[in-house]
A = this chain, B = another copy of it.
Amino acid sequence: MSSKNPFSHLDGLGEAHMVDVSEKPVTRRVAEASCRVQLSAETLVRLSNLPKGDAFAVARLAGIQAAKRTGEWIPLAHPLTLDQVEVDLAPVADGVEVKSRVTVTARTGAEMEAMVACSATALALYDMVKSLERGVVITDLHLDSKSGGRSGDYRRPG
């Protein structure tokens, strides 16, 4: 473990600061994240039996809108004018998988935006099913990949 302070937002004392990105190049950056909303079989069946698919549309929209305002949720995040936010929801064996992909042309990446998009999507879906199943668990929220920017590309192992 090297002695250099590895936290970009925390100085050597532990004080929190915003990073200065003014010397970084403007590049196209993409970040992807995902999480899972664990739902019972009954909830999944009931959702899929509804004639209209507003539940997924509302959840997807919540993710897109929250991502655009990440700088308001996350105190030290830079405000970014995003090029695109994509959110997808897909039923899986034990619930719904949420995936996000955020593109930005900027001096800093959109990792937090991708994480916020998944988080808000999952929370909005929970909001719509909680009257039926209060004990829903949102789990495994993580960054899947990022590309662009000086710190190099990242792809989650496995």
Contact = CB atoms under 8 A, between A and B. Distances in A.
Interface residues of A, number: 90
A138 B141 contact: yes
A96 interface: no
Interface in A82-114: 82-86, 103-107, 111-112
Contact of A19 (B6, B22, B84): B84
A73 B82 contact: no
Identical copies of this chain, number? 6
A98 to B, nearest CB: 12
A37 B71 CA distance: 20
A134 to B, nearest CB: 6
A135 B143 contact: yes
A115 interface: yes
B129 A21 contact: no
Given A53-B14, A64-B75, A22 B115 contact: no
A142 B135 contact: yes
Interface of A: 1, 6-10, 12-22, 28, 35, 42, 45-46, 50-55, 57-58, 60-62, 64-66, 68-69, 71-86, 103-107, 111-112, 115-116, 119-120, 122-124, 126-132, 134-143, 146, 151, 154, 156-157
Given A18-B86, A65-B73, 4 more contacts: A14-B53, A80-B81, A115-B123, A138-B142
